[in-house]
Structure 1
Amino acid sequence: MVPFRAISVFYQVATLNSVAAAAEHLGVTPSAVTQQLRALEQQIGTSLVTKVGRKIRLTEAGERYFEMIAEQVEGIIASTQLIQGAKPSTLLTIRATPTISTKWLLPRLPAFLDANPDIDIRLDGTNEPTDFARDLVDVEIRHGTGKWTGLHIEPLVEERFVPVCAPSLAGQGALQVGDLTGFRLIHSVKAQVQWNTLFQKAGIADQGVMKRLYFDRSHMAVDAAVLGLGVALESTLMMERELQTGQLVVPLRDVPEMRVTTQWLVCPHANLRRRRVKRFLDWVRDQARDWQRIGMNA
């Protein structure tokens, strides 16, 4: 006899990477989940799950078995929901900083939703890095250096940092770097490229006394520049729409080259097994390539 219940329990444990989370999802106790796992292992004749400290991970056999059954189990779930008259759907939870969420990801999400009508999105906009052992987050677009251990990490895109302002403040290519000292400079204090980097690259050691405006969120710095409050130094990734619509211009004739990757796709390796995560990662990689291709980073 095929142990369908035990297989579904194993699928939930492998997908959620947690016995406790699987138990909550299934509405049973963790001990009931563990019993089903042990029964499945006995029937198959090999270990599928092992404990590492207080966490669990799939064994090599468990990884292979999950890959074999995942598509079929998801098909059964979707078919059951259809026959019940419900729209089959699954929830994908994405965490990202408020700036990348509102300035880059959100305008693109309609295309993902149109292509994946069976996936619902929860977008969690916060600067706090995800504790994947505690937070029910599938994948994160994380700001930083990319140096985090124990996780799947890949760069989103390499970004170009440029000074920008409202066209009412200065025209496109109207200024030299030295002219910036006469303007209020808008600082995004958590950005990985700061004004001193630009001045150092331009060979200007003493900027004198300048007016400054500080923000702890990049999207606020961009919006302040649109309002004509000063000149901001930001990533073209974060102000794509403002540059395309002419709300912001690059006032320097010669912009020092400043390129860095600040946004990373991050999740536990186990989450890569989730079909919704795979589909999102494939899609967001395509979006990043398209963004590079249209010349926003040139």
Structure 2
Amino acid sequence: MHIPLRAIGVFHAVARTGSVTRAADELGVTPSAVSQQIQSLEVSLGATLIGKSGRNVVLTEAGERYFEMIQAEIEGIAEATQRIRGFRSVTALTVRASPSLATKWLLPRLASFIDAHPDIELRLDGTNEPTTFQRENVDLEIRHGTGQWPGLFVEGLVEERFRPVCAPQVAAAGSLDAAELLRFRLIHSVKSQAQWPHWFELAGVAPTERWRRVSFDRTHMAIDAATAGFGIALESDLMMSTELKAGRLVCPVRNPPALSLTTQWVTCPPDHLRLGKVKTFLAWLKHERDIWRSERDRTL
């Protein structure tokens, strides 16, 4: 049985890039040649794989299913071929994470991974947009949310503890009761799963006046604002571990109520867990998580 390997490779490039033109540029051929290969493959399979929506290329239901089935194998063949030919001496690994987690927690620790695994070329993609794994070249994502993503491998990174924090010059550690926070400007992290109304409810405080506040749509911006003395933020100890350890942020509240949530989740298609580079990164990530958690728990 003849297997149209060239046409399959062309289809993979179109499905991965979402564009006939980008696929043609990548493959070094004309868009017309790409279209001909796709048509040839569709005839061979007896199914329509690609349609159009305006100027965009979209996969049909059959196309999405076919791409899902061949993606890991094609990328594995491409990587093996490049290694044998000596074109690339490293394995590329793309990890996606929110800008806040990437900046505040991952980046300060990445040197140990890079030094220990010189054969892995790491790309850290910082974005809040969830990955469409069938169409994007992302191996693993650490996603902010509730952990409810059917069809994907999902595992919580760690249970985070949320607490009010500020720069020491705004208020000293343990110097305030919960109700006294209302005298200060409160920093709101818009997309956070832990919000001030819930925290005040846990603290048994019913705000009677409209509070002063400033809002940010990124956690790392809220943490930086608190460090700069803008006011008091309600943030995760995972995200602000560097600032807490250095004493640039302190918790000004005496006996703050406990508020723990898991908001960061390791996720990918189950098939990605077979890849050696993903296994290696996951093992490193969990090791770093365990070190951080042990250090945190010792300071309580």
TM-score category (smaller protein): 0.7 to 0.9
User: What residue number does 2:57 align with?
Assistant: none
Q: Report what 1:171 is aligned to.
A: 172
Matched residue SS, 1:105: helix
How many Å separate the matches in 2 of 1:93 and 1:132?
12
Structure 2 residue matching 1:285: 3-state secondary structure: helix
Question: 1:58 Cα shift?
Answer: 5.4
> Could you say which residue in structure 2 is the equivalent of 1:262?
263
1:255–1:236 Cα change, 3 Å: same
**Alpha-carbon displacement from aligned partner over 1:39-60 (angstroms, at most 9, x marks no partner):** xxxxxxxxxxxx983323559x
2:236 and 2:226 map into 1 onto residues whose CA distance is 13
Task: Give the partner amino acid of 1:134.
Answer: R
Instruction: State whether residues 155 and 264 of structure 1, in contact with CA within 8 Å, keep that contact through their aligned partners in structure 2.
Output: yes
2:174 counterpart letter in structure 1: G
Q: Once the two structures are superposed, what CA deviation does each residue of 1:127-146 show, in whole Å capped at 9, x if it has no partner? A: 11111122211111100000
Per the normalisation by structure 1, the TM-score is 0.77
Query: 2:296: which partner in 1?
Result: 295
Report if the CA contact (8 A) 2:16-2:136 is conserved.
no
Match of 1:145 in 2: 146
Task: Please give the TM-score of this superposition, normalised by the length of structure 2.
Answer: 0.76
Instruction: Name the CA distance, whole Å, in 2 between partners of 1:21 and 1:134.
Output: 5
Alignment match, 2:50: none
Shift of 1:276: 1.2
1:103-118 paired onto structure 2 within 5 Å:
103-118=104-119
Query: 1:47 corresponds to which residue?
Result: none
Structure 1 SS opposite 2:238: helix
Q: What residue ranges of structure 1 are gaps of 5+ in the alignment?
A: 1-5, 39-50
State the secondary structure of the residue aligned to 1:153. strand
1:71-100 deviation digits (Å, cap 9, x = unpaired):
x9977854542xxxx661121111111100
- State the partner residue of 1:236: 237
Q: CA deviation at 1:20?
A: 5.1
Q: 2:14, 2:152 → 1: CA distance?
A: 20
**Letter of the 1:150 counterpart:** G
Provide the C-alpha distance between the structure 1 equivalents of 2:149 and 2:129, rounded to a whole number of angstroms: 14
Q: What residue in structure 2 maps to residue 197 of structure 1?
A: 198
TM-fit CA distance, 1:206: 2.7
Say if 2:62 is the partner of 1:53.
yes
Aligned residue number for residue 101 of structure 1: 102
- The one-letter code of the counterpart of 2:127 is T
List aligned pairs for 1:55-94, cutoff 5 A: 55-56=65-66, 78=83, 80-81=85-86, 88-94=89-95
Kept in 2: contact 1:176–1:253 (CA 8 A) = yes
User: Secondary structure in 2 aligned to 1:286?
Assistant: helix
CA distance in 1, matches of 2:108, 2:81: 33
Q: Conserved in 1, the CA contact under 8 Å of 2:15 and 2:135?
A: no
2:131 and 2:144 mapped to 1: Cα distance? 11
Residues 94 and 140, structure 2, Cα contact 8 Å, conserved in 1: yes
Distance 2:69 2:258 in 1: 45
Tell me, in whole angstroms, the C-alpha distance in 2 between the residues paired with 1:115 and 1:122: 16
Superposition deviation, residue 106 in structure 1:
0.8
Instruction: Give 1:252 shift.
Output: 0.8
Change in 2 beyond 3 A, CA 1:112/1:234: same
CA 1:200 to 1:119, structure 2 compared with 1: closer, same or farther past 3 Å?
same
SS, match of residue 140 in structure 1:
strand
- Give the share of equivalent positions with the same residue, in percent: 47
Q: Find the aligned partners of 2:81 and 2:269 in 1 and give their Cα distance.
A: 26
Q: Secondary structure at the match of 2:206?
A: coil
Is the 1:152–1:269 Cα contact (8 Å) retained in structure 2?
A: yes
Q: CA–CA distance in 1 between the matches of 2:100 and 2:79? A: 34
Q: Which letter does structure 1 place at the counterpart of 2:196?
A: W
Q: Distance in 2 between matches of 1:27 and 1:273?
A: 31
Query: How many equivalent residue pairs?
Result: 266
Contact 2:164 2:252 (C-alpha < 8 Å) held by counterparts: yes
Question: 1:181 touches 1:207 (CA, 8 Å); kept in 2?
Answer: no
Distance, in Å, in 2 between the alignment partners of 1:105 and 1:224 is 20
Runs of 4+ aligned residues of structure 1 deviating over 2 Å after TM superposition are 17-22, 24-31, 51-54, 56-59, 72-80
The question of whether the paired residues in 1 share the 8 Å contact of 2:16 and 2:135 is answered with no
Q: Secondary structure at the match of 1:160?
A: strand
SS of 1:135's equivalent in the other structure is: coil
